[in-house]
Structure 1
């Protein structure tokens, strides 16, 4: 690699950050705040790099934002429990790994947040569809291809790029804004 590649990469990343729709970020913060105020649960999930971002987000929200707010956020990453995921994937289908957990834990009025670069992961789409049908509010952070989940989630932020690294970096930045909106407010 050479310096022009890195300069171009950073330039493109800055353009992605500049295009983050801050009004939509605020709407999602408002939904998370309402979930917290109503003592509802927030469930989050994703695949691959998005799963890692979800884990980081739930840790920040559940620990640091809860410390600041004085009342704990009831939040859970559905991509953490390997036994749950492998049991559901093995006994049913991999596309059921998140929906199956929601069937056990979720109640009408709860909140679902998913991260997906493609927006088409079958397990994510199926879980969001189930959540919508069962009275949960759904939020999706997706990449520029949008995918099916962008069509069905109640609130959607599209990171207008198709490069997985840039989209995942921007999704994590949005997740940090969602958490630090509580931590630093």
Structure 2
């Protein structure tokens, strides 16, 4: 069993090492941070959508911006779109689960806002529809996916496609990069004195 545990840790390390040497991806992260900071400076917001573990990651990362990350500073408008369970269950029941996010993007999103979509396959229908609506409205779309990017690939301004097909390892990298983005946004908007 120890060898099995070691193999899982090593697989995670190897994937993260591949990110470390991917200069295109690192440059993309920097560009994402600049767009997020620009949006906030213009009164924008950051919205998040995903399903299952990705929904949990969205909620976690939204809280890093709306609460705080490393130090006390003013809150930033950031919300995971699934947190209102009455809304989510009503719209899923009355319309379709596929539109739970696109309807909220339509209601809340405006040009220059940011929408993150997390989907390891890149094919989650409700995230895809949210990106389609976001693009209609001029909302900046950022996709966190697995290797292929799936259907989201062609709908994102920025695509962070982790070079793996292993869902848990992809999600670990989503959180690593998400945390990095949150820290950089905090540092950029609220430099420590």
3-state SS, counterpart of residue 68 of structure 2: helix
Unaligned runs of 5+ in 2: 20-24
Matches within 5 A, 1:73-152: 73-152=76-155
Write out the 4+ residue segments of structure 1 that deviate beyond 3 Å after TM superposition. 65-68, 182-185
CA distance in 2, matches of 1:116, 1:131: 16
Give, in angstroms, the shift of residue 4 of structure 1: 2.2
Unaligned runs of 5+ in 1: none
| TM-score normalised to structure 1 length | 0.92
Identify which of structures 1 and 2 has the higher relative contact order when contacts are C-alpha pairs closer than 8 Å and 6+ apart. Answer: 1
Give the alignment's Cα RMSD to 1 decimal.
Answer: 1.7
Aligned length: 183
1:22 to 19, 26, 30: 26
1:157 to 160, 167, 175: 160
2:53 corresponds to which residue?
A: 49
CA distance in 2, matches of 1:136, 1:112: 7
1:58 corresponds to which residue?
A: 62
Matches within 5 A, 1:65-76: 65=69, 68=72, 70-76=73-79
CA distance in 2, matches of 1:73, 1:41: 8
CA distance in 1, matches of 2:27, 2:155: 20
